[in-house]
Every structure is written in structure tokens, then in C-alpha cells.
Amino acid sequence: MHRLAGLDNPRQAQAFIDYMASRGISLVMAPEPEGLFALWLDDGQHLVEAEAELNQFLANPYDRKYQAASWDVAESRTAKFYYRSPSLLGLIRAQAGPFTLLVMAASVGIYLLWLLGMQQPVFTLMHFPLMDGDEWQLWRFFSHALIHFSTLHVIFNCLWWWILGGQLERRSGSAKLLQVFLISALVSGFAQFWFHGPNFGGLSGVVYALLGYIWWMGWLAPQRGLSIPKPYVVFMLVWLVLGFADILGMSVANMAHLFGLLSGCALGWADAKLRR
């Protein structure tokens, strides 16, 4: 299933659903937090047509053709409104691409090995290189991003990766998300290692890079369709400051966060200003 949009008026949403039904395209409506009602497309082969029709509808939702469609299908509809929530896996897949899902699956799988008592083998295999001959084991410059040390750690990072990485992959493609992942994992890993040594891990440096990238792209090139709500930016920046203030009561890879954010902002600036 594909999520098309979230509307705050369920009657208007139902009018669009009825109109698309008259064109042979099935949509469903599902309630979301903050009073929104999401429109979900059943069949992905109609995605382009559905998005084009949705843009026309949003420009003029009171057009007579939508009201007429509601009257036409009213008799065949068994209930005035029908809400069907998509499955959890369907929701996760709809908001992410293959690379987003691959990294999430790898992070969760590695953490399960961690819980099964394989902490030492996992960390020995995947930690950032100590520069004592293992710098030629190139996977280490990136694999540290997949290691997590607690349930809260892996859930927090995977959630932000899904939100931010999923948006970037859906809008700009898997290659762009892979590029941001590799560069930010490398930069944030070197920064954390340089200041504090190799005992770190997690996706948070990459997550902060995605924050910076999407934030700056939404600011400098809004036509690219990337955006992030301001409360998200404020929350993540406050979390960054609190980490440096050392009042969270936990070990935080502050330099990985900071340099991940800076690398993402730099990539966003380069893509917005130097590339079409």
C-alpha cells in the first residue's frame, strides 16, 4: 500500500475516495494522530495517476465532479465512512525504501545477537578500526553504525532512520540515501574515534546527517520535496546540546552526532547549490 496524503477533513477525504472509485482505483482511509485521515492506495500501479488526481482535488476539493461521484457510489457503500488501518509491516514498508529497510533489519538482527550473549564477537568484528593494521578492513569504517548497545538505543535510532531515511529514499532514491549513509558514517566515525577512541556504535551519527541534509535541502531547495517539521529539528538540536552538557546520565557519542550533522548540512548545501 502507498500513503498518498493526510487530510484533516474526513468528508473531503471520502469524496476523493468515491471519485477515485468511479475511476476504478481503490483507496482506503485510516485515522492518524493529530486528527488527520490518511489516504492509502491499494495498488501501486496507479500511483502516478492517483497523485495527479490528488493534486487536482486539493486545488479544488469542492468541484462538482467529486460530489457527483459520492452520490453515484453512495448506494454501493455499506457505511458512510470506512476506516481500515494498514498492518504495521505495511505501514513500515510504505514509508521506506529497500535500503532503509535493509539497514533497519541489519541493526535489529545484530542487536539480537548482542542480546544472545555475542557482545564481544560482534564488537570485535564491527568496531571502528583501531588503526593498528585493521584500517585495511574497510567495512569497519561503516559497520560501527549498525552496532547498538541497548533496546532504547536501537529503537530510537531505527525510528529516526525510518522517518528521515525513508523520506530521502522515497524522494531521491536509494543511491542518494546510500551516499549519505556512507559519507556520514565515515565522517562521524572518524570524529568520535579521534576524540574518544573506538568504543562507540550506533546509527545516531547517520541520523543527524539525515537531519542536516533534509533540513538544509528543505530550506535551500524546497522544490525537491524534502522537508522536516521544525519541532523535529528543535528536539534533535536540544538533544545534541544536552549530550554535550553531560546531563543525560548515559554515554553519548557527542562528536559523532555533531560531525554527522555537519556532514549532512554540507551534503545538503552541495546538492542544493551545486547540483541539479
Q: Reply yes or no on whether 257 is catalytic.
A: yes
Is-catalytic flag, 127? no
Catalytic member of 127, 153, 257, 263: 257
For 66, other C-beta atoms within 10 Å of its C-beta total: 21
3-state secondary structure the chain: CEEEEEECCHHHHHHHHHHHHHCCCCEEEEECHHHCEEEEECCHHHHHHHHHHHHHHHHCCCCHHHHHHHHHHHCCCCCCCCECCCCHHHHHHHCCCHHHHHHHHHHHHHHHHHHCCCHHHHHHHHCCCCCCCHHHCCCHHHHHHHCCCCHHHHHHHHHHHHHHHHHHHHHHCHHHHHHHHHHHHHHHHHHHHHHHCCCCCCCHHHHHHHHHHHHHHHHHCHHHCCCCCHHHHHHHHHHHHHHHHCCCCCCCCHHHHHHHHHHHHHHHHHHHHHCC
Catalytic residue among 70, 172, 184, 204: 204
Residues forming the active site? 204, 257
